Structure 1
Amino acid sequence: MGFMRKFFTILLLCSCLSCDLFESKEAKTQKLVNKEMQAIDWNDVDNYPLFENCDESTSKAFQKECFETELLNHMAATLNGYEFVIGPDMDTIVQVDFLVDQEGKMTVLNIAKDRTINDFMPEFDGIISQSLKNLPPLAPALKRGIPVKAKFRIPIVLSAD
């Protein structure tokens, strides 16, 4: 009887401590996936969105530089096609927040600018939005080889020169 009581106690103790033994493979896999997903820094991408002439085999720093340079060059070319009348001492920086989706399409989220820009250039926001629609093809940002959405902010310097 003493043996049975010890065996029952050991069996009861083992069954309470090892509930994971009876868990299905799917549940274990889901737990591992959830744990892995929580460990991923989703605010940092592995590869930046890239234009055709940017090299995907370079470092993240060079990818970012190429992406930003190409984007700023495109926006500068677009803005140079318009004549803006601004005040003589009006040098300002406009911050453009935009989203690159999983397909590489870019949309403007917000344009932070001085109120006087609206007075001198009320069409500025529309020109920026239109400029993004005319971008050359763009590959999306990647996280672990999967296309992901990514938010970016670029500064556009407007000067009276």
Structure 2
Amino acid sequence: MKKYWFSFFIIAAMTSCQFSDKKVKSEEELLQKELKKIDWKKVDAFPTIDACEAITDETQRRQCFFEYLTQTIQEKLNVDTLAILYPEIDTIAVKVTVFPNATIKFEPQFPKDSVAYDKVKIDSILHSRLVDFPKINPAIKRGVPVKTQFVLPVILNVE
């Protein structure tokens, strides 16, 4: 009987050594593998404002945010003389950048061949009008606030 127990322990010791022969991956290898899995072009949650937070459907929340942002920009620009100074411009593309610290930056986007109007003047009007903007909550990626950028078409109305 002792012979069987001795044989059993020898076999158990030999098979358990197979599991310890495997090379353990380093932390760096595991990190790189995990980083490759992440789609860095998409966010888990888009930027939003407090008025849209109650909406549970992600698509509707995103639409609420973009509609609110576009409408607010249009209202602020319609107060100014941008449409009067440049009546040929009916729509202006505005590049919006929302930073992780909830700050926001606006940049007008012009066609590459446009020389009909003063870009610096339009840019300064845009920056002077788009101040005191409501608080925007940044986009979230894996629980961390991230920077996002998008372009909104803003329609200029002459009233």
Deviation at 1:135, TM superposition (A): 0.9
Find the aligned partners of 1:38 and 1:57 in 2 and give their Cα distance. Answer: 32
Change (3 A) 1:159 1:73: closer
Choose from 91, 102, 105 the match for 2:103. 105
Change (3 A) 1:87 1:111: closer
SS of 2:155 mapped into structure 1: strand
Match of 1:143 in 2: 141
Deviation at 1:47, TM superposition (A): 0.9
Q: Kindly indicate whether residue 136 of structure 2 is the aligned counterpart of residue 116 of structure 1.
A: no
Match of 2:69 in 1: 71
Q: Which has the higher strand share?
A: 1
More displaced stretch, 61-70 vs 107-116 = 107-116
Structure 1 spans left out of the alignment, 5+ residues:
1-13
Q: Which has the larger radius of gyration?
A: 2
Amino acid at match of 2:35: M
Deviation at 1:149, TM superposition (A): 0.6
Structure 2 spans left out of the alignment, 5+ residues:
1-17
Find the aligned partners of 1:129 and 1:156 in 2 and give their Cα distance. Answer: 14
SS of 1:47 mapped into structure 2: coil
Match of 2:43 in 1: 45
TM, length-normalised to structure 2: 0.70
Deviation at 1:75, TM superposition (A): 0.7
Alpha-carbon contact 1:97-1:110 (below 8 Å) kept: yes
Find the aligned partners of 1:127 and 1:63 in 2 and give their Cα distance. Answer: 30
SS of 2:23 mapped into structure 1: helix
Deviation at 1:60, TM superposition (A): 2.6
Deviation at 1:133, TM superposition (A): 3.4
| Runs of 4+ residues deviating >4 angstroms | none
Change (3 A) 1:125 1:61: same
Find the aligned partners of 1:109 and 1:81 in 2 and give their Cα distance. Answer: 18
